Structure 1
Amino acid sequence: MRVLVTGTSTFFGARIVQELGRQGVHVTAADSVRFSAGKMSRYCEQHLHLPQMGKNPKAWLDQLVNHLQRHQYDLLLPTFEESLLLAEHAAEVSRYTQLMTTRFDTMLAVHCKPVLHERCQKWSIPSPATWWPNDEPELRSLAARLSYPVLLKLPMSNNSVGRIACHCAGDLIHAYQQATSHSMIHPMERPFVQQVISGELICTLMYCHEGRKLGEVIYRSLRTVPDGGGTSAHRESIDHPAIAELTEHFARQTQWSGFVGLDLIVDRDQSAFVIDVNPRANPGTNLGFMAGVNWTSLIQQIVRGESPQFAQAKAGVRTRTVLLDIAWLLESLEKPGNRLAKVRHRLKHFLRPEWRSDGRDLLSCREDWRATLALGLHGFRSLVSSCWHRIPIGQCALEDANYHFATASAMSPKSPPLEHRRAA
């Protein structure tokens, strides 16, 4: 079997390349980082260098299609936000290879957080109260009648980029003004307001085919970057029947195909609220492999026309992503106050976490040292860029792989509009 994997600059995309290669699949890794972890893996037979999707989606797609026209593959497997661009152009791409994807309008709707809230209401899935003001006057009117605290967020960001906690109307208005100061902001990228739900962050990752879950891992974030909510650096698989039922309902309602991850907050009453949906793989990929969910085997069975049995991750397995853990450690340098004390505190917990880890991640994998080196260099480059431009390290690390609605919609003016309700 020959598989073209895209989005392989991420550590979980590279892990998928590794596992496919271990299972005898002929893998081509494709992304816009010249020496990415996926391309440098010993399990990658060929690699394809693409333009940066966020800046030039048309060139990215044209080069990918040109490659597909000249090379035969049994499957095109997206692992990150390029899944949105591929879903929009699935009719063209599917002429050359198999692409298992969800309808583009559905993917875009759940990727856009305020529209996700509207869909959750329609599907009877709990979600925090959400408001999406059209402009500052509407925001000011809203701010006067809200109960605080609330969060100001960006509709399609990841890694908590742009998220600001607001404790009064003045905080909210100031944060909104800062977020909308750029005169070229796209209407669909204007910030929205969401009620704060106090509780524990629980995340999921599942692989689905035509609305049926094939495999799933549900996990709690033991440590996140940024601290207090974001991407998990340490995580533990858990059993949670209520969330498993909710994700099954989501898969059926969306008729999902491919990877998808949900972020939820479980409050003190044990009620789960969906706060984000990522139409892609996430850091739970490695945890799933460790806990008994063989994602790549499930995918191959579907390609062969088989009907795989559902795989649920074993509870109690913990994994650590060293690169994200380093970012968590360095985050203490940005915090005001006694930085030295904060660094000492985090260094202690970095070296000796309060919990055990059941397996090493890609960055500490000696077997595939070239991928390890490439990932480390990518992390270092992201750190330097973060310090130089004073933007979050997560934003720098994923800049090559993120989907940007404004540039993609300019490429495809007939993209379906996103309907939403401004208030919950």
Structure 2
Amino acid sequence: MIDAKKPLRVLMSEGSSTSGREAITILGLAGHHVEVCDPSRWCLARYSRFVRKYHHCPPLRSDPAGYLGFVERLLTSRHFDVLLPTHEQGFLFARAAARLTSHAGLALPDFASYREVHSKAGFSRLLDQLGLPQPPTRIVRSAEELRDGLRFPSVVKTSVGTASRGVWFVRDAGDLNRALYDLESAGDLAGEVLVQDLITGTVEKAQSVFCHGTLIGFHAYRQIAAGVGGGEAIKESVSRPAIGAALERIGAHLGWHGALSVDVIMPLDSATPLLIDCNPRLVEPMNAYQSGTDLVDLLLRLSLGETPAPLGESRAGVRTHLAMQALLGSASRDGTRRDLIRECGRIAAGEGLYRGSAEELTPLRLDWLSAVPLGMTAALLLASPPIAASLARGGFGAHLLDRGSIAKIEGEDFLHDPSARRPGESRDP
């Protein structure tokens, strides 16, 4: 068995997400050899001294079979100890696990379990089945059902979507009409749509790692300040045994293997956390790392076939921030150039909410190349603050799934697609 404490050769499934970029820093600080494949030549991972090699690959969204074939050929032609899915590529890898695990270590549950929690509707049904708390939720399949099942204020969500894609906050009839227009234009009403009561409270997130249904790592943090698109600009670690217990039940029920994260609302009028979303992966693992819980290392150990001992509880009160998210958030809230300059000053000086906080996405002292995307973001926002919305949409790129690519991957003949053939196989049927 390979020793996870020795430097490993790790292939990252993408390099565009904030979660993937933070995992790169953790892997690099541990001395591992990191390579990245991504359809964008200008992804965040290109600006890290910890990335040894970048591989330009087909887009997961429009060509999942081509992406799978590319990854498999890469695993065959170059030696890697671990294939690390950091975003929605896990959906594809779980489907094709038998093809991939012969080339590199991979920690994922079975495809049926992955698919159940990847779907917002599937996760909501699972919570009902397990008797776990969530906001009052209705699942609808038409515009008529949506109108009839909605009460103001509500949150409307497509069953498939990540990074706040496919989410509408509906507080009045005007919001409802806009949501219906967007849903019908995108064809999303052909599938399941969730309608949840909008609960006032604090947004929190929790991350966990399971070994064949046993919880071995857990971390939670709360949002101190929002960025753009619902993401966190500043976060602080918290102790949340109740959320850990809920995750433990979910993971045990599914026999989960690998990473699992949830979004939670802590209501202002109740001490009961309400689960509102699930991601079958780690989400921005640097706050956990700074709090003494290295969930990325746990995933490496699982990928190599180890059975790691459970980690202790994270330190509470550890504050971290993402400067890029903070600047994008300030600009998206109609911030002026003066507001942005003041925010830059507070970040640089560690003042206000940034006092005692560590940068987690672009850690300049550890990785000088990360100054490039941060500096470019600041320059573009100072030139035109309204550009924040379009810059944020750049993160919802070709490395993510949509309904079409999910349908292809779920298709009975997907693994027989010539584009996803094994190395050396003929393109002919």
Of the candidates 81, 85, 98, which is equivalent to residue 105 of structure 2? 98
> Match of 1:361, as an amino acid?
E
Aligned length, in residue pairs: 403
How far apart, in 2, do the equivalents of 1:399 and 1:138 lie? 31
Q: Which residue of 1 aligns with 2:195?
A: 193
Shift of 1:179: 2.1
The change in CA–CA distance for 1:259 and 1:198 in structure 2 (over 3 A counts) is same
Question: Which of 52, 59, 63 is the equivalent residue of 2:59?
Answer: 52
In structure 1, the residue matched to 2:204 is: 202
Q: Which residue of 2 aligns with 1:158?
A: 162
> Residue 271 of structure 2 aligns with which residue?
270
Whether contact under 8 Å (2:82, 2:300) holds in the other structure is no
Cα 1:249–1:199 shift into 2, 3 Å: same
Distance change in 2, residues 1:34/1:173 (3 Å)? closer
Letter in 2 for 1:160: S
Q: How many Å separate the matches in 2 of 1:329 and 1:18?
A: 25
The answer to whether the 8 A contact 1:186-1:406 is kept is no
Aligned to 1:67: 74
Identity %: 21
1:301 and 1:308 in contact (8 A); partners too = no
Partner of 1:363: helix, strand, or coil?
coil
- The secondary structure found in structure 1 opposite 2:140 is coil
CA-CA distance at 1:342 after TM superposition: 7.8
Aligned to 1:225: 227
For normalisation by structure 1, the TM-score amounts to 0.84
User: CA RMSD of the aligned region, Å?
Assistant: 3.2
Change (3 A) 1:386 1:247: farther
Residues 100-109 or 295-304, more deviating: 295-304
For residues 293-320 of structure 1, give each alpha carbon's deviation from its aligned partner in whole angstroms, at most 9, with x where no partner exists.
1233323433262523324210010001
Alignment correspondent of 1:407: 405
Structure 1 residue 368 displacement after superposition? 1.7
**2:322 and 2:360 in contact (8 A); partners too:** yes
SS in 1 for 2:131: coil
Alpha-carbon distance change, 371 to 304 in structure 1, aligned in 2, over 3 angstroms: farther
Instruction: Note closer, same or farther for the CA distance 1:10–1:161 as it changes in structure 2 (3 Å cut).
Output: closer
- Deviation per CA, 1:337-357: give whole Å up to 9, x if none: xx7998799789767433523
Does structure 2 conserve the Cα–Cα contact (< 8 Å) formed by 1:363 and 1:373? Answer: no
Measure the CA separation in 1 of the matches of 2:193 and 2:54. Answer: 37
Alpha-carbon spacing, 1:355–1:18, altered in 2? closer, same or farther (3 Å): closer
Asked if residue 235 in structure 1 is aligned to residue 242 in structure 2, the reply is no
Question: Could you tell me which residue of structure 1 aligns to residue 353 of structure 2?
Answer: 354
1:53 & 1:383 partners in 2: Cα distance?
33
Per-residue deviation, residues 134-157 of structure 1 (Å, max 9, x unmatched): 2122233334xx4x3212222222
What is the TM-score of this pair, normalised by structure 2?
0.83
- Contact 1:37 1:372 (C-alpha < 8 Å) held by counterparts: no
Q: Deviation digits for residues 160-200 of structure 1, max 9, x if unmatched?
A: 334333234x3464134212332644723x54311122222
The equivalent of 2:253 in structure 1 is 253
Residues 231-289 of structure 1: per-residue CA shift (max 9 Å, x gap): 11100001122112112222212222222211111122211110001122212x11011
Structure 1 SS opposite 2:358: coil
Structure 2 stretches lacking a partner, 5+ long? 1-7, 415-429
Amino acid in structure 1 at the alignment position of 2:232: S
- Code of the residue aligned with 1:414 in structure 2: it is E
| SS of the residue 1:182 aligns to | helix
CA distance in 2, matches of 1:118, 1:381: 43
Secondary structure of 2:244 counterpart: helix
1:29 counterpart residue number: 36
Worse-superposed segment, 259-268 or 14-23: 14-23
Matched, 1:363 2:362: yes
Compared CA separation, residues 412 and 253, structure 1 to 2 (3 A): closer
- Distance in 1 of aligned mates of 2:315 and 2:45: 27
C-alpha deviation, 1:110, in angstroms: 1.6
Matched residue, 2:421: none
Structure 1 residue 51: Cα displacement: 1.8
Secondary structure in structure 2 of the residue aligned to 1:236: strand
SS in 2 for 1:403: coil
Alpha-carbon distance, 1:77 to partner:
0.8
| Residue matched to 2:118 | 111
